[in-house]
Amino acid sequence: MGALTLSGVLQVGPANPVDGGFPGASENIPIGFISGTKQYVPGTGVLTRNVASPGAFLALDGVGPAATVTQGTFLYFKSNAPVILQLTCDDGLGSTVVIEQPVQGMYMLEFPSSQPLELLKIKGSATIEYLVVGNT
């Protein structure tokens, strides 16, 4: 069994409040999992690859019906250029729902255990890294 820990602070505010930046106040938003540490059994590990599929969706390794992770509960994804992720999830009612999400930079998503990620595809050209973990 593995464990994920996510901790940090998102700082929001002016670049230099001394110069009269707007807004004048800063905020610190804590970042972390609701449960503190996220336990998982299967995981893809951190995978890095160059993708060149600008016209069609390409399935990403490690997630799918015959892959390491069949029911993903957490996705970390990072891209150095604009891409479209296609996430196929259980809808919780015995069918699936497909979501197309434009991404550039970092993208993280937690899935309810009743509506896990079942397939991950990508369209675009970029260098990417990703990690998916789940439950058995």
Please state which of the ranges 28-37, 78-87, 115-124 shows the lowest mean pLDDT: 28-37
pTM of the model: 0.88
Domains contained in the chain, CATH given: 1-40 (no CATH), 42-136 (2.60.120)
| Top-confidence range, 2-16, 25-39, 77-91 | 77-91
Contacts of 119 (CB under 8 A, 6+ apart): 59, 63, 64, 65, 86, 87, 88
Distances (CA, A) of 14 to 17, 19, 22, 26, 30: 6, 9, 6, 7, 18
Q: Give the tens place of pLDDT for each residue, 42-60.
A: 999 999 999 999 999 999 9
